[in-house]
């Protein structure tokens, strides 16, 4: 009810603001006022009136609290503690420099990394990529519990040559399937696709190459072609994104270092600065 009343008041003020050149305040703390125009850009498109009112109310409440605290700070802090001009200037300079550097990075940094570069980095730094949890390679299939020939899936999988039959079966009956025969995924991510509590992430694959589970609606089959235990070398399929991030970060650092040198050299050439 309070939100509804606030909604009516808020949009009443908004309408008056549009029809009146005099600014209409939304809130006051001592001699400070908050106006509707101060909230410009606050509301994403597509919001309902109720959502907009909730955002507006939260913003106004926060503004009031901040103004109350600001007044107390202005009254009670010693003069030297309130002299923030240098800190504000330093912060502004740092922020502008960072934004300019990021702008140049986005405009000029080469973000394309070819497969060979990733493979070379992986080979040269393989000891840095160690699994902290199990990873597997294989297939995952989820079919309705009444789908036929479920017991044939394991036979087809173990034969090695009948994956095409599994694919045909999957296309016909599966409501969900994942083929990761050429890359690894973390086992825990796969187990989340099974009914809760079917298996734990520390399951041993020493004596099995598959997992099955079912609930009242579906039958689940996971065929494991290869298992990588924790503390073994991370497969390149899992390391690839990490390597991309490492290479991009190195390029960024090199780019910024070169940029700094160029800026300094330009300043020297233009006699833009001098030491005293």
Same-domain check for residues 124 and 135: no
272 contact partners, CB below 8 Å, separation of at least 6: 266
pLDDT of residue 4: 47
pLDDT of residue 275: 82
Q: Confirm whether 88 is domain-assigned.
A: no
Helix (H) or strand (E) holding 248: helix 236-269
Same-domain check for residues 253 and 194: no
- Distance (Å, whole) CA 163 – CA 47: 49
Q: What are the distances in angstroms from CA 271 to CA 263, 268, 276?
A: 12, 5, 14
Q: How many C-beta atoms surround the C-beta of residue 143 within 10 A?
A: 23
Instruction: Choose the final residue of a domain: 53, 83, 113.
Output: 83
Of 70, 65, 10, 66, the C-alpha closest to 43 is: 10
Q: Confirm whether 235 is domain-assigned.
A: no
- Distance (Å, whole) CA 59 – CA 72: 20
What's the average model confidence in pLDDT over 168-182? Answer: 92
Q: What is the pLDDT of residues 80-126, one digit of tens each?
A: 888 888 899 999 999 999 999 999 999 999 889 999 999 999 999 99
Same-domain check for residues 217 and 169: yes
Same-domain check for residues 222 and 141: yes
pLDDT of residue 239: 95
Same-domain check for residues 188 and 208: yes
- If one counts the domains in the chain, the total is 3
Same-domain check for residues 111 and 248: yes
Same-domain check for residues 223 and 252: no
pLDDT of residue 12: 52
269 contact partners, CB below 8 Å, separation of at least 6: none
Q: What phi and psi, each to the nearest 5 degrees, are found at residue 222?
A: -125, 120
What's the average model confidence in pLDDT over 45-53? Answer: 73
Q: Confirm whether 32 is domain-assigned.
A: yes
Same-domain check for residues 142 and 113: no
Of 61, 43, 63, the C-alpha closest to 3 is: 61
* pLDDT higher than 80, residue 21: no
What's the average model confidence in pLDDT over 211-234? Answer: 92
Q: What is the DSSP string of 62-90?
A: HHHHHHHHHHHHHHHS-HHHH--HHHHHH
- Distance (Å, whole) CA 156 – CA 239: 31
DSSP β-bridge partners for residue 179: 139
Q: Confirm whether 71 is domain-assigned.
A: yes
Same-domain check for residues 69 and 193: no
pLDDT bin (cut points 50, 70, 90) of residue 133 is very high
- Distance (Å, whole) CA 179 – CA 192: 16
Q: Confirm whether 234 is domain-assigned.
A: no
Same-domain check for residues 141 and 218: yes
Q: Confirm whether 275 is domain-assigned.
A: yes
Same-domain check for residues 163 and 183: yes
* pLDDT higher than 80, residue 20: no
- Distance (Å, whole) CA 186 – CA 137: 9
Q: What phi and psi, each to the nearest 5 degrees, are found at residue 137?
A: -130, 135
Q: Confirm whether 233 is domain-assigned.
A: no
pLDDT of residue 65: 94
* 163, HSE (Cβ side, Cα atoms, 13 Å): 13
Of 53, 220, 237, the C-alpha closest to 135 is: 237
Residue 212 lies in domain = 131-228
122 versus 209: the higher-pLDDT residue is 122
DSSP state of 41: T
Same-domain check for residues 97 and 19: no
Q: What are the distances in angstroms from CA 64 to CA 8, 55, 57, 254?
A: 20, 14, 11, 46
pLDDT of residue 43: 73
What's the average model confidence in pLDDT over 230-237? Answer: 94
- Distance (Å, whole) CA 25 – CA 21: 12
């Amino acid at each position: 009810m309070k939100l509804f009343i606030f909604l009516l008041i808020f949009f009443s003020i908004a309408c008056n603001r549009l029809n009146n050149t005099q600014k209409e305040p939304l809130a006051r703390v001592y001699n400070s006022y908050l106006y509707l125009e101060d909230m410009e850009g606050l509301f994403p498109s597509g919001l309902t009136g109720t959502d907009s009112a909730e955002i507006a109310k939260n913003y106004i409440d926060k503004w009031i609290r901040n103004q109350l605290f600001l007044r107390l700070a202005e009254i009670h802090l010693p003069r030297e503690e309130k002299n923030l001009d240098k800190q504000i200037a330093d912060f502004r300079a740092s922020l502008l420099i960072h934004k300019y550097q990021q702008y140049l990075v986005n405009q000029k940094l080469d973000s394309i990394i070819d497969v060979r570069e990733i493979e070379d980095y992986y080979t040269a730094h393989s000891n840095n990529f160690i699994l902290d949890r199990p990873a597997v390679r294989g297939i995952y299939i989820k079919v309705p519990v009444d789908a036929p020939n479920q017991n044939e899936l394991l036979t087809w999988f173990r034969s090695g040559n009948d994956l095409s039959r599994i694919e045909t079966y999957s296309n016909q009956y599966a409501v969900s399937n994942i083929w990761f025969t050429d890359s690894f995924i973390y086992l825990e991510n796969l187990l989340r696709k099974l009914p809760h509590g079917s298996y734990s992430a520390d399951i041993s694959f020493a004596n099995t190459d598959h997992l099955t589970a079912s609930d009242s609606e579906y039958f689940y089959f996971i065929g494991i072609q290869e298992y990588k235990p924790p503390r073994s070398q991370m497969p390149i399929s899992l390391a690839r994104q990490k390597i991309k991030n490492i290479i991009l970060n190195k390029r960024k650092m090199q780019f910024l270092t070169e940029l700094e040198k160029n800026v300094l050299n330009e300043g020297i050439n233009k006699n833009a600065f001098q030491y005293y």
